[in-house]
Structures are given as structure tokens and as C-alpha cells.
Structure 1
Amino acid sequence: MNTEPTVLVVGGGATGAGIARDLALRGVDVLLVERGGLGTGTTGRSHGLLHSGARYAEADATGARECLTENRVLQDIAGACVRETGGLFVRLENDDPDYFEAKLRACREVDIPTERLDADTARERVPDLSDAVVEAFEVPDGTIFPSRLVAANAADAAENGATIRTQTPVEGIDVTDGKVDGVRLGGQTETTVNPTCVVNATGAWAGKIADMAGLRLEMAPSRGVMVAVEYDGLGPVLNRCREPSDGDIIVPHRQTAVVGTTSVPVTDPDGYDTAEWEVERAIEECAAMVPAVAEATEHRRWWGVRPLYAPDEAGTDRRGISRGFTLLDHGRESIANFYSVVGGKLTTYREMAEVTADRVCEQLGVDEPCLTASERLPGADDPERLDRFVDRYGGPNPADAEGHSD
């Protein structure tokens, strides 16, 4: 392993793997380190929704457009890492009709394809919909198999010269004269590396890595529960069309449906309590859309931590914090070769990686274009090959723990 990589990427979720792939395709020497297996943080503990942008349309038009664009890119490049299921936003009889109209109007204003459905037509799409559903509209939501997506990005990075090291935590960062000049690695890679640039892509853990370099990064993580129940044939993603709340989404994954989620502030993404009420709330609220999920056998449950960046937020309600992403160039503070990319969504990981790689390449003087929006991921048309990548880099994570080829 080269102990003087041009770029050290810390964090092996979708964003970190995406950055490694982007830089490697531009000919940059990259080392990616992850303290566990790839995708073991937020990426692999999500509900695996491929956003159309509709969930954010009325509150964040820019973010909604980003989701729609990246949704289409992933359908082009990611093959069997994603699945085009479609999605429905459903209004129940006690839900605010004005909110439904505002959501539908906002989707159309940002060019998200929609089709309005009456209750009977919606039930033709999803026969188990509750009798309380009075109307719905279709959007191009889909699902992501996060383990495959991360592993395919890492595999492509490696095929283009990057080094990927799992089970390799960062144990210390040495800063001299306003630059990182050494990063101490542990686990299976006991060594110190001396990169030209460091990218902190550790999501909810970004504050911990920044702290090692003497920087303060205001993260505001929140936990949310997902419950996979045995339920085949759901079809589209189902979204409750109301103000964001607990238990407002059901995501189809193979022979299961993932119901969720909750939003509870946490102070430490490595150590937080969980509560049975979260599971009960998620199932109860989702059962208002599809009563059958309340009686379905639970397959597994897991909690994920959202990597929310909120330097100006003081309150405890974190639902209103932007799901957009921010690239922080710490040279503006004190460390000229250190970057952190925070916030964002799984759907927009590739754009986050592109923006980060552009900035790093600018500093390095690398004048090569981004190729990740057009170059298909390796294994995109071969689910068995994708699953071999997953096994290589740590195995499937909870969001797609069934884990093997369709």
C-alpha cells in the first residue's frame, strides 16, 4: 500500500466510495479507509429509497431537482443496484387536502412527472391500500440496494487504481503548519499515511474526524427506525402525503416491505438508546396506509443515524433541517488540505462526490472531467457479480440484508 497517496478518503459509505471512484477515473491516486465494512454507517442502514424529489418539492425545490436528476442518472448507470418501482403519495381522509394540493403543485413546478389518481385507481395499483385513502398521485420513486451500490463504486475505484481498506479506523490526525501531514491508521492497516489531501466523508461521524484535526463541525444527528416485514408484491413506494412525521413511508424490497421511520435527536452516532415505541409507532402509522403490514411477520429491524449538518440549529426538532449537502473547505479556517462533505441523501451521493472531486482536483491542478454520470458501474447488468463485490467489501447491510441475486 502506498503510504503517500494523493488523496485519502475517510469513510466507506456511498459518498466516500463515490468520491474514490470519481477521483480514480480522473487518474488521481486514492486511498479509501473505512473502520468497518463498506456501507456500515448511514448508507447501509437507510430505507433504500431512490428519491424522485417529491418528498422535498414544496420545501426545497433545489434539492428536489437534484434528486430527480440523480434518480435518472442512477437508473442509467447503476443497473441492478436500483429498481424502478414508481411511487405513490397517498392522502387519507383525515389528512389535509390543502397540503396534498401544495405537494402536487410543487412537484409539477420542479418538473417531477406526476399523475393524479382517484381512490379506486390507486387501489388498482396497490390492492391492499386502506379504505381511508381518498386520493393519490404517482411519482418516479424507486429503490436502491445500498450494499451493491457502494461495493460497485468501490470495485470500480479499485479497478482504476484506488486502494480500498476496510476494517481500518483513523486513530489520529497530525497537523503541522496549517496542513495535515500524517494520518494514523489502525485495525488491519497499522501505519501512518501522508496524503496530499484528506476528504472527510464519514457522514454522521464527520464531527469526530474533524475533531481529530482540531476542527469543530456542527453535526445534528437523529436516529430513525426501519422495520422490514414479510410482505411481497407491494409494488410502488408508498408515501403518506402530510407534513413530515413518524411512519410515513413504506419501501418495497424483494419479498419484504420496509416501514419507517422516526426522528429522535442523538448526541453520539456510536452510542444511543433505542425504544420499542419507535417500532410500534412506525408500524401503526404505516398500517394506516396498508393495514396488512400490522399483521405481517417482522423480518428484521434496524436504526440508522441521519448525517444532518446544522451549524445554526439550536432546537431539538431535526425534521426541518435541510437534507441538502455541504462541502466544507477547511483551508478557509486553518487546514489547507482538508475537506469535509456533510449532509445529503443516498440518492444524491454521486453529485456530492462530483462536487467534492471537482474541488479536490482544482487544488491538485488536475484538469480531468467527471465521468461518473455516464460510465456504468461494473456489474450493473450482472447481479451475481454485484453480490460478489458486496461479499468482498464486508457483506450486505441491514437495508438489503437478503443480499443476493434476484
Structure 2
Amino acid sequence: MDQTDVLVVGGGATGAGIARDLARRGVDVTLVERDGLSSGASGRSHGLLHSGARYAEADGPGATECLEENRTLRRIAGACVRETRGLFVQLADDDPAYFEAKRDACVDVGIPTDVVDGATAREAVPGLSDDVERAMWVPDAVVVPSRLVAANAAGASEHGARIHTHAPVTSMTVERGRVTAVELGGDVDDTVCPEYVVNATGPHAGKIAEMAGVSVEMRPTRGVMVSVAYDGLEPVLNRCREPADGDIVVPHDGEVVLGTTSVPVGDPDDYERDDREVERTVAECSAMLPSVVDADRVRTWWGVRPLYEPDEAARGGRGISRGFHLLEHADEGVENCCSIVGGKLTTYRRMAEATADLVCDRLDVEATCSTADEQLPGASEPARLDEFVRQFDGQGPTDIDLVGR
């Protein structure tokens, strides 16, 4: 049996970020992932690094978190981030009051904005729809999630963490209010005896929690992304309206990613892929960038959002807050286990810091977080980042056209 201070279950951005944070604080960490890194929500997104503008009028604190982490990742993540800017566009049929409310909210949050008329926007973005009446520049960017997750795992490994991919958790033993053993299958096929367990499995958090005899209520929703051939788009395009299907276009090199939909699913591993959502996404995005409707479709993938049920029920919307929730399970009778749920890729580092703070407090470790100030390994070396992706089998569909080029 392997002994470890902390077992982190889940190899997405948050799990890898937690492992890096704890390892840098001198904690003995083991991270396990049932597939390769980035195989879940992190590697199946549209890859937007939010400025916070998308959430400004609905969730000011969440928007502030996005803005701060956007700036942090630009400092520490190097070639894991592509500088693109973002443009919120108001079409002729869109409510101008919503545009005004978003602009005012961005000002309140501190998000830099620059409002331009439709003609100026079309001059800056060739191919933009004639229906664009005005637009607002914001500091959005594009993240390359496979590189980001692998670089965090590499940073954890450099500080002594053990990273096990293709090592699914098959069962947990709970004795006298503590998880005492975790059985791993796959390539590892071993038992780990942790002092503390962190559940960072995104939409699967409820299933892992059940193994420990505790409850995490999730409301996973599916969304489709469609990548089409398109050269020369610089900024991320956001439709400036209430969140709906097909309201974002994310630029890649020679492609743009069109997204997305939001449909509840019962099982994050087994859900319907509805072709009508693909067609609706393309059609809606073409209202901003008309030529994508006839562009060659390169690839399509689906992702599942790790939404937390109580938060979604309270807000009654389309999961627009994307706040995160750190749940301790001591009140359910398991004192050495927590779950980190919700959130988004942009705020993964902050989620990891909050989780690591909690774990260190429970383990009487006094070291503080340093991940906001230290560059990720290989940040300035794309080839090295891509080698990390191969090392951890971390290639997700979001950025398969960018990694290794």
C-alpha cells in the first residue's frame, strides 16, 4: 500500500492545480486520473480565457475573480495563453439596454472596455456581420487547456508529486469517520492510504463522493463545440445578449470554434449527442460571422459542465455565475475529505489555492500559496509544453489543432 499525505482525484485543470500548489508547499501529493490528463471538462471546452465581461452584470464577484485570474495566467502561463482580445457585439435584434447594462457592470468591476460603432468594428474584424450595430472590446483571450493542465502536472511532479494517469478509483474504505484506503485500477492497480482526499472530478464529483459515503449534488449539462475552417479572426466574438445557444466564436490558427449549447444530462459519461444542437450552434454563430455557415466543418466535440445543483437551483438560470464551491464532508461523518465543484477553467488556479489552503489547515501545514507568482514549467517553450502533454497523455479535443504545431 502506498502512503500519501493527500490524494487528489481528478486530472483536469483544478486537480492538477491543486497538486502543484500542495507540492510547492512541501506536502506529499498523489494525483490520479482515470484517463489521460484533460480528458474531462478542462480539455473539452471552447478554450476561452474570460475577462469577466460575460458575467459582469449577473455575478460581479465572479467577474472580478475571472479578471484577476485572467491577468495572473497571462503572467505565469506563457504559451498556454494566446493573446486575442474579445469583442461583445450587439446585433440589430439585440436589446440595447442589455449592452448598456453589461458595459456599466464592466466599469463597476474594473474590466477595461472600449465601445465602437458597427462600422469601426467591421473595419477591425473583416467578415463581421452587417447587422452589428455596436461592439465593446474587452481583454478576453484564448487558453490552450492541454498545455495548461500538463504544465501544472509537470510543476507538481518537479516538487515531488506522483501523477498517475489511467488510474481510476474503484472503491474507498471509510473507517471511524476517515477515508483510510482508496483502491485504484487501470495501469496502477494498487491501494493508496491517504491522510486527506480531495475530490476534483468535475461533473463526476457526485459519483466519487458516493464512494466515500457522502453526497455532492451535481447538475451536469452538455454543450457542443464545432470547429470550422476560417482564417484571420483575431478576437473572441461574444453575442451581447442573455446567454443562449451559439453566442461565442473562439479564434484558433486557421479555424474558429463555435459554441455552445446547454442541456441537462443524467450521466456525464453517457448522454445523447443531438445533431440539431450542432446545426443550431452554427446558425446562431453565423449571425455574428456569416461565412461560418458555409465553412468546412473540421471537427465537433461535446463537453459536460460541472455545475453544482444547489447553486443552479438558487439562480434558476443557465449556470451563468460559474462560481466555485469547496465542500467539506466532516458534517456527513467523513472528516478527511473535501470536494471542489463548479467554477471554470479561467479560475482553476484560485480554486486550487482555496482547496490547498483548506487541506493545509487540516494537516497543520503552515506554508502559503506561491502559484500566482511562479511561472509554469515550460511557459516560454511551446515545444516543452507539448512534450508535457504527450508525457501525461493530456491531449484534449479543444486544442488538438494548436498543440504540437
Partner of 1:369: 368
Partners of 2:117 and 2:311 lie apart in 1 by 42
Alignment of 1:5-404 (within 5 A): 5-311=4-310, 319-320=318-319, 322-404=321-403
Whichever residue aligns with residue 235 of structure 1, its letter is: E
> 1-side partners of 2:94 and 2:177: how far apart?
54
- Distance in 1 separating the partners of 2:347 and 2:64: 10
2:299 is aligned with what amino acid? Answer: R
Letter in 1 for 2:242: E
Counterpart code for 1:160:
H
Unaligned residue ranges in structure 2 (runs of 5+): none
Q: Give CA-to-partner distance per residue, 1:362-394, whole Å, 9 cap, x none.
A: 011111110100000011000000000001111
> How big is each residue's C-alpha offset from its partner over 1:334-377, in whole Å with a ceiling of 9 and x where there is no partner?
11000100000000000000000000000111111101000000
CA drift at 1:216:
1.5
Residues 263 and 318 of structure 1 are in contact (CA less than 8 Å); yes or no, is this contact kept in structure 2?
no
> What's the offset of the Cα at 1:312?
6.1
SS in 2 for 1:257: strand
**Secondary structure of 2:71's match?**
helix
The 3-state SS of whatever aligns with 1:229 is strand
User: Does the C-alpha gap of structure 1 residues 320 and 201 become closer, same or farther in structure 2, counting only changes over 3 Å?
Assistant: closer
Amino acid in the other structure paired with 1:360: V
Instruction: Encode CA deviations 1:144-197: one digit per residue, 9 max, x unaligned.
Output: 000000000000100110000000000001101110001010000111111000
Shift of the 27–320 alpha-carbon distance from structure 1 to 2, 3 Å rule, reads closer
Distance (whole Å) between structure 2 residues aligned to residue 311 and residue 211 of structure 1? 17
Runs of 4 or more off by more than 2 Å in structure 1? 311-318, 403-406
State the 1:233 CA deviation: 1.0
Q: Measure the CA separation in 2 of the matches of 1:310 and 1:323.
A: 12
**Residue 292 of structure 2: SS of its match in structure 1?**
helix
Q: Which whole-Å CA distance do the structure 2 matches of 1:37 and 1:99 have between them?
A: 41
Tell me by how many angstroms 1:84 deviates.
1.4
Q: Using the TM superposition, give the Cα deviation of residue 315 of structure 1 relative to its aligned residue in structure 2, in angstroms.
A: 9.8
CA distance in 1, matches of 2:344, 2:324: 8
Q: Deviations over 1:200-222 (max 9, x none)?
A: 00000000000111111110000
Does the 8 Å contact 1:396/1:403 carry over to 2? Answer: no
1:313, CA displacement in angstroms?
A: 5.0
Counterpart Cα distance in 2 of 1:392 and 1:135: 46
Quickly say closer, same or farther: Cα 1:395–1:328, change in 2 above 3 A: closer
Q: Distance in 1 between matches of 2:230 and 2:402?
A: 17
Mapped to 2, the partners of 1:24 and 1:146 lie a distance apart of 21
Which whole-Å deviations, capped at 9, do the CAs of 1:293-330 have from their partners, x for residues lacking one? 11111110000000000226559975146310000011
Letter in 2 for 1:280: E
TM-score, reference length from structure 1: 0.98
**Aligned-partner residue type, residue 202 of structure 1:** T
| Matches of 2:110 and 2:301, distance apart in 1 | 34
SS across alignment from 2:387? helix
Aligned residues: 405
How far apart, in 2, do the equivalents of 1:357 and 1:276 lie? 41
Distance (whole Å) between structure 2 residues aligned to residue 403 and residue 139 of structure 1: 23
SS at match of 1:171: strand
Alignment CA distance shift 1:395-1:18 (3 Å): closer
Q: Give the alignment's Cα RMSD to 1 decimal.
A: 1.3
Cα distance in 2, alignment partners of residues 299 and 317 from structure 1: 35
- 1:101 maps to a residue whose letter is E
- Report sequence identity in percent: 63
* Mapped contact 1:387–1:403 kept (Cα < 8 A): no
